[in-house]
């Protein structure tokens, strides 16, 4: 069974119980403060604040926001580092481990990515086979698009990395130091992560002023739901792997894939022959997709413990 990092073991040890240096309430308060520091600066400057004439997807806004959140991550990570190392509670090496920076966890990253890819077996089949995405990857077009499009860079690299630094690396160790139960850490801290996305309601409202308020509220509630759910999964992976790189890669992959299709037909592009006639796509494409979707979900569940087990784990969990 994976062992706890040294300084956390001092507080969880049954032989020498010690009061935690901070309470769970204080840890959650700091998480909220971190979230505000992450989001509020977006609306304090004209370069980062969207308006009816300036979209959040404008390259100038994206660049300015990346700078803003990067500074926030440095500041919040420093605060957590100081809390963990103050009064000799932890060494620098132990703290870097708890923050997920060292060991890097290349093996853990590969296993967590494989586990998540199994869960997305259906969507991967649709993208790579049905939509022939494999052709794009042979030409490396997704990579060239990533480095040539600021929106893609934000959604796949900058956003996932800074969010994992803040909401996993800087936040989760506070919950552990507060001796918060593991289940509470997994399901409560991601709620703050989900709430951090609610400002998208305001930004979507600016760019879509004629959309009904009810639809916008439903959209925000759904976004809160799936971001919180993903946050719980990412927190679980972070605790099991002890690797910031692992959760960043999984986050980037999930942003690439989006939400899996759970209804409707899966159809390839319609091919028109020389006579201008097209054939109706076979229902088999759809059947295979949903088989992969179910098999992938079962495979993910069956391998959840095996593919997340690591000697670098931050806490010991029975799966």
**Structural tokens at position 304:** 């959840």
| 197 catalytic residue (yes or no) | yes
CB-count burial class (<10 Å; 0-12, 13-18, 19+) for 237: buried
| 200 catalytic residue (yes or no) | no
**Cβ atoms within 10 Å, residue 134:** 11
Whether residue 244 contacts residue 149, with contact meaning beta carbons closer than 8 Å, is answered with no
| Residues 153, 130: Cα–Cα separation, whole Å | 26
**Cβ atoms within 10 Å, residue 111:** 22
Sign of the dihedral defined by the CA atoms of residues 313, 317, 318, 319, in that order: negative
**Which of 197, 199, 200, 203 is labelled catalytic?**
197
Q: What angle do CA 292, 296, 300 make, to 5 degrees?
A: 180
Task: Report the Cα–Cα distance between both ends of the chain, in Å, rounded.
Answer: 11
**Which of 108, 126, 163, 164 is labelled catalytic?**
163
Residues acting as catalytic residues: 163, 197
């Amino acid at each position: 069974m994976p062992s706890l990092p040294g300084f956390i073991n001092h507080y969880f040890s049954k032989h020498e119980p010690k009061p935690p240096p901070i309470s769970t309430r204080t840890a959650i308060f700091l998480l909220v403060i971190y979230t505000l520091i992450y989001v509020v600066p977006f609306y304090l400057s004209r370069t980062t604040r969207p308006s009816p004439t300036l979209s959040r997807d404008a390259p100038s806004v994206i660049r300015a926001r990346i700078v803003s959140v990067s500074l926030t991550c440095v500041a919040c990570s420093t605060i957590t580092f100081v809390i963990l190392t103050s009064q000799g509670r932890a060494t620098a090496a132990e703290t870097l481990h708890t923050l997920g920076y060292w060991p890097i966890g290349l093996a853990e990253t590969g296993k967590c990515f494989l586990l998540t890819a199994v869960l997305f077996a259906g969507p991967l089949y649709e993208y790579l086979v049905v939509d022939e995405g494999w052709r794009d990857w042979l030409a490396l077009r997704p990579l060239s698009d990533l480095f040539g499009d600021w929106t893609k860079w934000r959604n796949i690299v900058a956003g996932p990395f800074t969010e994992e630094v803040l909401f996993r690396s800087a936040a989760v160790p506070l919950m552990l130091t507060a001796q918060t139960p593991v289940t509470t850490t997994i399901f409560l801290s991601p709620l703050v992560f989900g709430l951090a996305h609610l400002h998208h309601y305001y930004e979507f409202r600016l760019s879509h002023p004629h959309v009904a308020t009810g639809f916008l509220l439903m959209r925000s509630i759904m976004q809160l739901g799936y971001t919180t759910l993903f946050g719980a999964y990412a927190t679980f992976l972070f605790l099991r792997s002890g690797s910031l790189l692992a959760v960043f890669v999984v986050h980037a992959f999930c942003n690439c894939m989006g939400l899996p299709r759970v209804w409707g037909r899966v159809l390839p592009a319609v091919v028109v022959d020389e006579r201008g006639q097209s054939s109706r796509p076979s229902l088999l494409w759809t059947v295979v997709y949903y088989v992969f979707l179910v098999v992938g979900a079962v495979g993910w569940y069956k391998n959840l413990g095996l593919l997340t087990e690591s000697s670098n784990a931050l806490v010991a969990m029975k799966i």
